[in-house]
Amino acid sequence: MLLLSLLTACGLLAPAPLATLPYALGADTPPLALVVVNRLVVLSPTDARVARLDLGALTWDEAPLPVGLPLDLRLNVVGDRLTLWGARLDTLDVWATDDDGLSWRELATEAAAEGRASVMLPLSDGRLLWVVERLDVEEANLTTTTLAAQARLAASPGAPWSDIPGVARLGTISAALPLPGGQALLLGGEHGRPEEGIISWATRFDGVQLVPGPALPERQAWARSGVLVGGEVVLLEPMFADPGDAIGLLVRVDSAVMLDAPGEPLEGRFAATPLADGRLLLTGGVLDGAPTAETWLLDPKTAAWTPGPPLPRPRAGHVAAQAPDGRVLLVGGVGVDWLGREAPLAEVDVLAL
């Protein structure tokens, strides 16, 4: 026992995982993972399957995803059921699990009257916010220009949609993020000249209409986003940045500040997990060209990072979800084998904060 403890402390032997995934996950496509009540739910878009781990009995059950899924998937919890939705060209599709939690039923398939489906967002009060870009196509050179965006609201999936006032100033929608109290923050590119992924403005849905959001300090494309418990939004991993540049942007209801990189600049592929206490947790990622076991905690009040406890094993390209007891569960991604090469990880590890 003493020898095993010494090997673990020296990093030569990783501790036993909480569980092992029932199927392999694609190393290039991070899964979606969240905790529903006392179950870890893992969705693999590549394999079109969803698996659940009972955190008490540590047993798995699994089922296939609905047929004909769109490429851009989102997963959310409404009560004790899962809601899956995604936008395809001119179409919005919504599914939810039924009483057994693993069978899916289609709630809505909506067609955009003009333009294309852009984002659909379940709000914290159960309503759905759907924002559709309106495009103007010049037939001479086949270029497209975003004239505006149409925003709609529904009381629940499958309910009739109503238009939201104040949408004329919206351009290309890059992200829509839920806020407490049935509000949302819409982030997008410049009106009239869409640039793929670039975010240059913010608009807030206050529960009734769209109102101006905070001014953003720079135009940038961000690889990922997260919403903290207090209502702050964190955008991370700039796509067009030099080493040593800011790693993210912290957006509050009335202001936005750039975030410096924590410690040595991470090269990406880390997981960003909002915690129940309002902080943001970064786990793993790539450092000096290899997966790392580092973790960092962001305090949104000070916009400052502090080191967190190390992961059980180096990990990159994974996802992490916090359980009701405060533990953080790490799923998927790649680690390092005994030859120093990247290798897919099937272990579900636990990080205690």
Mean pLDDT, the chain cut into blocks of 10 residues (353 residues total): 42 76 72 82 75 90 71 64 65 70 72 59 85 61 59 82 76 80 85 66 90 88 87 88 79 91 81 94 91 94 94 92 92 85 89 92
pLDDT of residue 218: 83
Q: Does domain 66-225 have CATH number 3.40.50.300?
A: no
Helix, coil or strand: residue 6: helix
Distance CA 288, CA 286 (A): 7
How much is the pLDDT for 158? Answer: 72
pLDDT at 1: 39
- Please say whether the beta carbons of 131 and 173 come within 8 A: yes
Q: Read off the amino acid at residue 247.
A: I
pLDDT score recorded for residue 245: 76
Q: How far is CA 207 from the centre of its chain?
A: 22
| CATH 2.120.10.80 residue ranges for the chain | 66-225
Alpha carbons 307 and 145: distance in angstroms, whole number: 45
Which amino acid, one-letter code, is at 321? Answer: A
> Residue 100's pLDDT is what?
65
At 46 the pLDDT is 67
- From the list 196, 133, 139, the residue with the least C-alpha distance to 168 is 133
pLDDT, residue 7, reads 44
